[in-house]
Amino acid sequence: MTTFAKLGINTTLQSNIKRLGYKKPTYIQEKSIGAVLSGTDTYAIAPTGTGKTAAYLLPILQELSQTDHSEDQVRPIRALFLVPTRELAQQVEESIGQYGKGLKLRTISIFGGVRIQSQVNRFKRGTDIIVATPKRLIDLMKIKAISLNDIQFFVMDEADRLVSMGIYHELKNILAAMPKKAQKVLFSATDSKTLNKFNQEHLNRVKIVKGGSIQPALDKILHTMYRCYGDDKNKHLFGLLNMINCDRVLIFARTKFDVNFLTKILNDEGFVTTGIHNEISQKQRQQRLAGFKDGEFKCLVATDIVSRGIDISGLYYVINYDLPVNNNDYIHRAGRTARTKTNKLETKKVIADKIEKQALSREVIAKNQTVFNPAVDMETTVKVTDIQGHIFSLVSSSQERLVPLISKAVGKDIKLERPPWRIER
């Protein structure tokens, strides 16, 4: 059996990740850690929820710790982690603190929604690592508040999203500002032609690592789609929430207007709800996400800024109020549940409790303790203990054309079903 020790990870990092519950490397960690430690540019594609963050953080933290700059008057910036959203920036910074405990490395995260001067002030003593969103990084570079001259490691997390944000020129400027010998590492849950083009143009002697084309986490998730037409969709959402009767659910909406509208009507109906979108201040976003994680809110309504890289412990249910136009966004939304950090024994207990207490009897074959999802055409049933999440989608007539495309991306035949609840018209 491959271990973190056999992959070359030092004892300090091993101790830290053991304390966090890591026992053995996932497939993408096993294949990527050695590639990054070897110093080669790395292009890694792996399904959501398979431990990609640790796959690039562990080897880079180890390499950075070989040189101690903690006593320097101004620390040089040696690693840059570029991410698409503020939430992911904060989460990566938190992971660095957990994995790198005791390594004497300093990390600063920078993103929009915060006064730029307050971030400029944080750089007075320098830092070993920056976790940044692209626009704020460019803003700081323009006013010469930050230098990338000493960068040794450049990582693009959720790289597919970064190259599709319309900032290709800005990405080239960021690369041009750092040494050509800097090691470049791209990690993504999904592949794309644009990402492949970026790889070919900017990575050298690249090591390509792929964790499989099928998203294994999706096999642990039930996928159900209901036909919901016209003005009745809000009533269908209430019907679905009443049916699953859960403590916590993440609801994805397409626009900030949808988020604000749904948050209001759900609160009016007695569902304690909060919302997150791009135009909410960073402080409020942090407070609302923390409140949802802590159980203060039953429902979190959000745009796709929450669909990537955000870990919400124990989250079982996800609802698509609208289907995403991009198939990859559906995969990322589904990936907010069935995360690899979930303890297996706790997962079994949570699922068993949900099956016993909640209104999901239509999907449970009690005699042989298996689950049957009528919205998914499966040749074999899935064991209850293997199910770690459920994603529901409310599909309007204009979005029915997206169902076959999403089915293909997921690798399952997801069929549109009639809602099992009744609504008053």
**One domain, residues 281 and 172:** no
CA 55, CA 44: separation in Å to the nearest integer?
Answer: 10
pLDDT score at 373: 31
Report pLDDT for 344: 37
Helical (H) or strand (E) element with 279: none
Cα–Cα distance measured from residue 184 to residue 182, given in angstroms and rounded to the nearest whole number: 6
Domain match, 152 and 249 both = no
Q: What is the pLDDT of residue 165?
A: 81
Q: Helix crossing, 11-19 with 86-99: angle to 10°?
A: 120
Residue 273 pairs with which residues in a beta bridge? 299
Low-confidence ranges of the chain (pLDDT < 70): 212-219, 230-231, 309, 338-386, 425
pLDDT at residue 70, as a whole number: 81
Tokens standing for residue 424: 């008053």
- Tokens standing for 154? 């450049």
Q: Kindly provide the residue ranges of all beta strands, DSSP E only, lying in 211-311, ordered along the sequence.
A: 221-227, 249-252, 273-276, 299-302
Q: pLDDT (tens digit, 9 = 90+) per residue, 26-63?
A: 888 999 999 999 999 999 988 777 788 999 999 999 99
In a domain, residue 4? The reply is: no
Residue 123 lies in a domain: yes
* Residue 425 placed within a domain: no
**pLDDT in the model for residue 425:** 65
- H or E, element range at 76: none
Same domain as 368, residue 261: yes
Q: Cα Rg for the chain, rounded, in angstroms?
A: 22
Alpha-carbon distance of 275 to 27, in angstroms, equals 35
Domain assignment of residue 5, yes or no:
no
392 shares its domain with 305: yes
Instruction: Based on the fold, state whether residues 267 and 411 are members of the same structural domain.
Output: yes
* CATH assignment of the domain containing 289: 3.40.50.300
204 and 268 housed in the same domain: no
Q: Examine the domain organization and report whether 226 and 135 are in the same domain.
A: no
The number of residues making up the chain comes to 425
């549940």: which residue's tokens? Answer: 337
Answer whether residue 424 is part of any domain: no
Residues 178 and 312 in one domain: no
Strand, helix or coil at 80? strand
Q: Which domain holds residue 289?
A: 216-417
Render 114-134 in DSSP notation, one character per residue: S-HHHHHHHTTTB-SEEEE-H
Q: Which of 210, 241, 269 is the last residue of a domain?
A: 210
pLDDT for res 246: 87
Q: Do both 174 and 287 map to the same domain?
A: no
pTM of the full predicted structure? 0.68
25 secondary structure, DSSP code: -
In a domain, 84, yes or no: yes
Looking at the structure, tell me whether residues 35 and 55 fall in a common domain.
yes
pLDDT of residue 340: 44
Tell which of 176, 210, 244 closes a domain: 210
- pLDDT score for 168: 83
Query: Does residue 422 belong to any structural domain of this protein?
Result: no
Number of domains in the chain: 2
Would you state the pLDDT for residue 356?
41
Residues 149, 46 share a domain: yes
Of 210, 231, 251, the domain-final residue: 210
What is each CA distance from 224 to 50, 153, 231, 316, 419, in whole angstroms? Answer: 23, 42, 21, 14, 10
**For residue 254, how far is the Cα from the chain centroid?**
17
Q: What does the alpha-carbon distance between residue 331 and residue 233 come to, in Å, rounded to a whole number?
A: 22
What pLDDT is stored for residue 386 in this prediction? Answer: 63
3-state helix, strand and coil shares in percent for the chain, rounded to the nearest 5: 40, 15, 40
User: How much is the pLDDT for 376?
Assistant: 29
Dist. CA 210–CA 79, nearest whole Å: 24
**H or E element that contains 371:** strand 370-371
- Among 47, 77, 76, 42, residue whose Cα is nearest residue 59: 42
Closest CA to 215 of 347, 63, 62, 28: 28
**Residue 1, in any domain of the structure:** no
Cβ burial of 293 (10 Å; 0-12, 13-18, 19+) is: middle
The 10s digit of each residue's pLDDT in 359-416 is 343 343 222 223 333 322 223 334 444 677 899 999 998 899 999 988 887 878 888 9
Same domain flag for 62 and 198: yes
